[in-house]
Amino acid sequence: MARYFDVHPVDPQRRAIGQVATMVREGGLIAYPTDSCFALGCAIGNAEGVERIRTIRHLDDRHHFTLVCADFAQLGQFVHVSNRVFRLVKAATPGSYTFILPATKEVPRRMLHPRKKTVGVRIPQHPVVRALLSELGEPLLSSTLLLPGDDEPLTQGWDIKERLDHAVDAVIDSGECGTEPTTVVDLSTDETEIVRVGAGDPSRFE
């Protein structure tokens, strides 16, 4: 049965955030709010957590997982960033964007796109996830909480608790967040490609 954490959306309680961070470090899988929509997340080295996300969402090995990072310095440990990419990403973060970039050796192979050796990265704006990332000191390995057969991601903490009670270890509820996933921008080659139009304004990359 998942633990349920009701936290303030702007000033999240440190005790609750600390408890969730401990669960993540100990191998837990969580459902948490972001500035676009709810996501599933676990520690970057949690192989079992990755498989649990694949099972919940019915994902194949071509799915791009996302590393949700606290800041640009942390992001730079996990992806290769050229000067051009640095300027583009820096100007758009924190925000509702996921960037696909070539991964460094710090990223576990199971997270990489099997052919391109790329990974998705983002720096969110939501105070709750930013507090959690600060407490963790490392990125969250994440995927949008869009269940098989659903047209939109789940938006209510109590609904997530009800539907995924035995599939995740914790649900963080800070009220409604968005229903629209991030805008996904592939910056892994010299040609910028908008893979998915979502919550972030894509015009700056067109």
Over 90: is that where the pLDDT of 110 sits? no
Where residue 27 sits, what CATH number does that domain have?
Answer: 3.90.870.10
More confident site: 60 or 51? 51
- Position 175 scores a pLDDT of 87
Express each pLDDT in 43-53 by its tens digit. 999 999 999 99
Q: What is the number of structural domains in the chain? A: 1
Express each pLDDT in 141-153 by its tens digit. 999 999 999 888 8
Neighbours of 44 (CB within 10 A): 22
Express each pLDDT in 72-82 by its tens digit. 999 999 999 99
Give backbone dihedrals phi and psi of 12, rounded to 5 degrees, phi first. Answer: -65, 140
- Position 147 scores a pLDDT of 92
Residue range 5-11: average pLDDT? 96
Q: Name the residue with tokens 């969110």.
A: 124
In sequence order, the β-bridge partners of residue 68 are 122, 140
Q: Which domain holds residue 107?
A: 3-205
Over 90: is that where the pLDDT of 178 sits? no
Give backbone dihedrals phi and psi of 43, rounded to 5 degrees, phi first. Answer: -65, 150
Amino acid at 163: R
Does the pTM surpass 0.85? The reply is yes
